Structure 1
Amino acid sequence: MTTYALEQLADHVGQELGSSDWLAVEQDRIDLFADATDDHQWIHVDPARAAGGPFGATIAHGYLTLSLLPVLVGQAFSLEGVSRRINYGLDKVRFPSPVTVGSRVRAVVVLASAVTSERSTQMALRCTVEIEGGDRPACVAETLTVLMP
C-alpha cells in the first residue's frame, strides 16, 4: 500500500492511488445487510428462489456493495498528515453489474480532485468496484471526503 502526504495529494490528481485486496461477498454478509436495512427481497435472501432467477443465485444489494467502500478504499492507500476525515458524501453512483453470492470484489481508486483551502482539503475519489473475473464493474462512485491536517 502506498502512503501519500496530505500536502502533496494534489500532485496525484488523475492518478490511480491503489487497489484493495479481494473481498468475498458471502450470504451471511448479504443477510446481515438485509436485516440492518429491512430490505429482504428474495433476490438477496432466498437462495432457493434466486437459483431460478435471472442471476442463478442471490445477489448483494447495490447499497451493500457501496457500503464496502470504506474498508476497500482503506486498503488501497493511506494518507499521512491527516488528523480527521469527514465523509462529505457521494457523487454519481452507478451499479453496472450485480454481485452474485460468493463473488470477490475489490476497489480501484483514482484521485479525481484535491482542493485545498486554509483549513482543509476536499478529496474526491473515483472508486470502481470490480468483480473478480467480471467484464463490468459492480459499482462506480465518486466519494467526497474532507481531510483535516
Structure 2
Amino acid sequence: MTVVTFDEAKELAGRDLGFTEYRTVDQDRVNTFADATDDHQWIHTDPERAKDGPFGAPIAHGFLSLSLAIPMWGELLDVKDVTTKVNYGLDKVRFVSPVPVGSRIRMGGVVVDVTEVKGDGIQLTVDQTIEVEGASRPAVVARGLYRFYR
C-alpha cells in the first residue's frame, strides 16, 4: 500500500501502485450479489446448468468484479491527512474476460493524472486492472476517478 499526505498525492501522476492481495470470488458472494441486484441469470447462480454453458462453469457478474474495485482500491492507496475521500466515478469500463466462480482476483493501479478540483481537493485518475490468477487476459479494465479533500 502506498500511504501519502495530501500534498504528496499531488505528485503521484505516473506512479504504479502495484497490486492488491488476491481474494476469492466464491459462489456465496456471487449469490449474494445476485440477490442484491436481482440478477439471477443461470450463468452466475446455477452451477450445474453453467457446466453446460458457454464458460463451462458459473462466472461472476461483471459488475460484481467491478464492485470489488472498491475494497481493493483501499489496499492500494491511503491519503492520510484529508477530511473526505470520494469515489467520483469511472471512465471507460470493459469486462474483458470472465471471472470463474472459485477463482482468485486482484487489482493493480497506475495513477494517470492528478488535477486540482474546487473545494481544496484533488482528483486522481487511475488505470485499474482486475486480473484472475493464472489467466492470460484481465477480467476488468477501468479508469477510476477518486477525489480527496482537505
TM-score (norm 2): 0.94
* Structure 1 counterpart of 2:74: 74
* Structure 1 counterpart of 2:109: 109
Question: Could you tell me how far 1:3 is from its partner in structure 2?
Answer: 0.9
Give percent identity, aligned residues only: 46
In the comparison of the two structures, how many residue pairs are matched? 149
Matches within 5 A, 1:57-136: 57-117=57-117, 119-136=120-137
Unaligned runs of 5+ in 2: none
Paired residue secondary structure (2:136): coil
* Structure 2 counterpart of 1:56: 56
* Structure 1 counterpart of 2:145: 144
Query: 1:50-90 CA deviation, whole Å, 9 max, x = no partner?
Result: 01112111000000001001111111222222211122111
Contact 1:107 1:127 in 2 (8 A): yes
Matches within 5 A, 1:20-31: 20-31=20-31
RMSD: 1.2
For 1:35 and 1:86, the matched residues in 2 are separated by 26
For 2:85 and 2:78, the matched residues in 1 are separated by 12
TM-score (norm 1): 0.95
Is 1:14 equivalent to 2:9 in the alignment? no
* Structure 2 counterpart of 1:41: 41
Contact 1:19 1:77 in 2 (8 A): no
Question: Could you tell me how far 1:30 is from its partner in structure 2?
Answer: 0.3
Question: Could you tell me how far 1:117 is from its partner in structure 2?
Answer: 4.0
For 2:137 and 2:62, the matched residues in 1 are separated by 14
